[in-house]
Amino acid sequence: MPEQDKDKDKDKEKDKDKKKPVRWLNPASGYLTGYAYTLNPYVGCTFGCSYCYVRRMPIALFKASPWGEWVEPKRFEADSFRREWRRAIAKGGVTVFMSSATDPYQPAEHQEKLTRRLLEVMAEEPPQFLLLQTRSPLVLRDIDVLSRLGERVRVSMTVETDLETVRKALTPFAPPLAGRLRAIRELRQAGIQVQAAVSPLLPCSEAFPELIASSVERVVVDDFFRGDGSGGKRSAQLKMADRYRELGEEARYTPETADAFVQALKAVMPSESVYFGQEGFLP
């Protein structure tokens, strides 16, 4: 077959893919068993956190550009998503984790407003439960839509440390910690359910448990050994122990560090408000 014809065939296949409706709701499994669906508005994530388990997944491993340097918004058609959403609602038991492999409020969301548009459709017929997992204060933009979802939604704001030096070393492109804590306060003031996700726990000061206790009523803690979806194998492949060594924090790279942190939290806030691992993310 002539090269020109091959190129034409490839273009036709691309056009077909563009016309195919995007499937938004994917069955949840593994660590997210307990949810009916996961929903990822974007492919890729430009926060590019050094410890992100997605770095070891095929979507990151077989991309030409390194994880953290690219993002692709999914093609949104309101009517198409509305039909998919209503079919799921009709079946019942709609619990959604948003998002499992990207941040729904990463920088691209400022312009794309993809997460917001999805939430607006959801608010027409609310799910049984929606968890919004993010590390971005941009979530505050959508307080009006989140308020319409009421008790059906919980925002889970990642706050892994109280030390900006650690944040800059391990997650340099993520929002500053002060902004995330401000977002937690403003969400609570607006009556939105919110939790702090100390996930994974990074090196922190002794004052961190008190800071969390004064900021939020619910917290979930996780670590590199039980929370990366592979029993610590992905974290090992990402050489997180070496990163801790570079920070002079190698002694903290143990499961016992997170266990001690949980106990410190329970000493300053109700124990039933402190969760560890998967349980803290469940509906």
pLDDT, tens digit (0-9, with 9 covering 90-100), for 43-56? 999 998 998 877 76
For residue 58, the model assigns a pLDDT of 63
Is-contact 201 224, C-beta < 8 A? no
Least confident of 30-39, 63-72, 79-88, 138-147: 63-72
Q: Which of 137, 141, 131 is nearest to 184 (CA)?
A: 137
Is-contact 57 101, C-beta < 8 A? yes
Number of Cβ within 10 Å of residue 45's Cβ equals 25
Beta 193-198 vs 153-158: how paired, if at all? parallel
- Is the pLDDT confidence value at 40 over 60? yes
For residue 140, the model assigns a pLDDT of 98
Q: Exposed, middle or buried: residue 37 (CB in 10 Å: 0-12, 13-18, 19+)?
A: buried
For residue 13, the model assigns a pLDDT of 47
Q: Which helix (H) or strand (E) holds 149?
A: helix 143-149
Is-contact 28 101, C-beta < 8 A? no
Task: Provide the β-strand partners of residue 151.
Answer: none
- Is the pLDDT confidence value at 6 over 60? no
Is-contact 283 128, C-beta < 8 A? yes
- Is the pLDDT confidence value at 241 over 90? yes
pLDDT, tens digit (0-9, with 9 covering 90-100), for 54-87? 776 666 666 778 877 889 999 999 999 999 999 9
CATH of domain 22-281: 3.80.30.30
pLDDT, tens digit (0-9, with 9 covering 90-100), for 155-173? 999 999 999 999 999 999 9
Q: Give the list of residues 6+ apart from residue 190 with CB closer than 8 angstroms, or none.
A: 143, 146, 147
Using only C-alpha atoms, what is the Rg of the chain? 20
For residue 77, the model assigns a pLDDT of 96
For residue 102, the model assigns a pLDDT of 94
**Strand, helix or coil at 96?**
strand
Mean pLDDT of the chain, nearest integer: 91
- Is the pLDDT confidence value at 12 over 60? no
Hey, CA dihedral for 30, 34, 36, 38, is it positive or negative? negative
Angle between helix axes 177-189 and 208-215 (nearest 10 degrees) is 30
For residue 261, the model assigns a pLDDT of 98
Confidence band of 14 (pLDDT split at 50, 70, 90): very low
E strands present in 14-137? 26-27, 37-38, 42-44, 71-73, 95-98, 129-134
Domain definitions of the chain by residue range? 22-281
pLDDT, tens digit (0-9, with 9 covering 90-100), for 90-112? 999 999 999 899 999 999 999 99
Angle between helix axes 255-266 and 208-215 (nearest 10 degrees) is 50
